[in-house]
Amino acid sequence: MSLYNLLDLIQQYEWSISVLMLLIYTAIVRKLTSFNVLLILLLFLTYLQFYWDVTISKHFGREDISDLITALWYLGFGISDFIFVVLSCFIIRKNHLETNTPIRMIIYSYIALGVVQVITYLERFIFSTKNLYYFYEYAIPTVNASVTVIIFVYTAMTVLNGFSAKRLESDK
């Protein structure tokens, strides 16, 4: 299995892993934190982007609106990534939720995803070249897979901390 296939495989299971991790994390922590806010918004985003992908893909062969379809493909994903970041930050700030390193990494990852989408499109739109496309092809699954790994590891760490706290309590 090539690296690309592995990244793509992790990316495909992002939604299912996120749902599972959200349930486990919320069951352990039992309160609203930045992490479950991010996960809930991430689930909506993944769902929306899946339908965007399906909808735009249907029009790929149309010559009359090919420029618009290309723009909607790249910029649609980019705009949705940025909206995800703006909404997450807004909710985190409004509820005075604390942020830590994994939260920062997820937020920065989605900014990076949005920037890659917009820059790749602008390169095609302005310079009519596809040099960045090869970077794009690997960058998107890599970042998505990394976010999935962060979500998994952070939840696992929370579960382990929960067990060690319970053990400390029972030792008391």
Q: Which residues here bind other proteins, judged by CB under 8 A?
A: 28-31, 33, 65, 67-68, 71-72, 75, 78-79, 82-83, 85-86, 89-90, 92-93, 96, 98-101, 103-104, 107-108, 111, 114-115, 117-118, 121-122, 125, 157-158, 161-162, 164-165, 168-169, 171-172
Question: Looking at beta carbons only, is 117 or 148 nearer to other proteins?
Answer: 117
Q: Which is nearer to other proteins, 33 or 144 (CB)?
A: 33
For the chain, count helices (H), then strands (E): 6, 0
Nearer to other proteins, 9 or 65 (CB): 65
Q: Tell me, what amino acid is at 92?
A: I
- For the bound state, the minimum distance from the C-beta of residue 134 to other proteins, rounded and expressed in Å, comes to 21
- Could you tell me the smallest distance in angstroms from the CB atom of residue 47 to other proteins? 20
Compare residues 58 and 96 and give the one whose CB is closer to other proteins.
96
Q: Could you give the CA distance from residue 58 to residue 54 in angstroms, rounded to a whole number?
A: 7
Among candidate residues 66, 146, 68, the one with its CA nearest the CA of residue 113:
146
Considering the complex, what minimum distance in angstroms separates the CB of residue 1 from other proteins?
34
2 φ, ψ (degrees, to nearest 5): -75, 165
For residue 20, with 0-12 CB atoms within 10 Å meaning exposed, 13-18 middle and 19 or more buried, which class applies? middle
Q: Of 72 and 132, which has the nearer Cβ to other proteins?
A: 72
Contact 22, 36 (CB under 8 A): yes
Question: Alpha-carbon distance 149 to 154, whole Å?
Answer: 8
For residue 139, give the nearest of 36, 39, 11 by alpha carbon: 11
Min separation Cβ 82 and other proteins, Å: 4
User: Minimum distance from CB of 170 to other proteins (Å)?
Assistant: 9
Spatial separation of the C-alpha atoms in residues 84 and 81, rounded to whole Å:
5
